[in-house]
Amino acid sequence: MRVFLAAMALVLAGCLPVAVLRTPEPVSGRSLAFGLSAVGVEGGVGFIPYAAYAQGDGQTEYNFSVQMGFRAGIKHALAPGFSLDMGLTLPLLLGGGGVPLALDAGLLVGLGDVYLSPRVHWIGFQSQNTSVAGLLYQATLGYAGEGFLGEGSILFSGQQGGLMLVVSAAARF
């Protein structure tokens, strides 16, 4: 079972956005961010690059990011410092055996320069006679400085009990 979970983690990591790196306030205009995530894996740490583009009017933001997969999302302000963020992620390289898919939805809550993002991911994968789907939960605590974003996240599965720790940082322009 442990080998199966590790193999599924590797397959699904191609489509799971592990970094939030978005502030609670939708951008007004355009924004670029480039960064890196350190993901705790068995026996060490893996590093995953991150790039994002966002465009918005201060109320609604359309964002696109690449981190082992391509994510297209929308963020909408519900109140000052409080927004809803949703996205769809597909892997960068599509194989012939099946396409993993991830949908995520979360809240972004700002407390000054600090933000909190509880989030849920639905992940599905189908290949030949095997179908796997499930929910992953994410809790992120971040800091948004002038031109800098840094955060720590915990991703966990309620069913399997797996836990993944992630530390991410990005320069924002």
**Domain range 2-172, CATH class:** mainly beta
Half-sphere exposure of 29 (CA within 13 A, CB side): 3
Are the CB atoms for 110 and 24 separated by under 8 Å?
yes
> Domain limits of the chain?
2-172
| Each residue's pLDDT expressed in tens, for the chain with a length of 173 residues | 444 444 445 444 555 678 999 999 999 999 999 999 999 877 889 899 999 999 999 999 999 999 988 999 999 999 999 999 999 998 776 555 666 789 999 999 999 999 999 999 998 877 777 788 889 999 999 999 999 999 999 998 877 677 889 999 999 99
Tokens at 73, concatenated: 């999302």
- 45, 74, 105, 112, 160 from 134: Cα distances, Å: 24, 22, 14, 34, 10
Q: Which residues, including other chains, have CB under 8 Å from residue 32's CB and lie 6 or more apart?
A: 51, 52, 53, 172, 173
What is the model's pTM? 0.86
pLDDT for residue 125 = 78
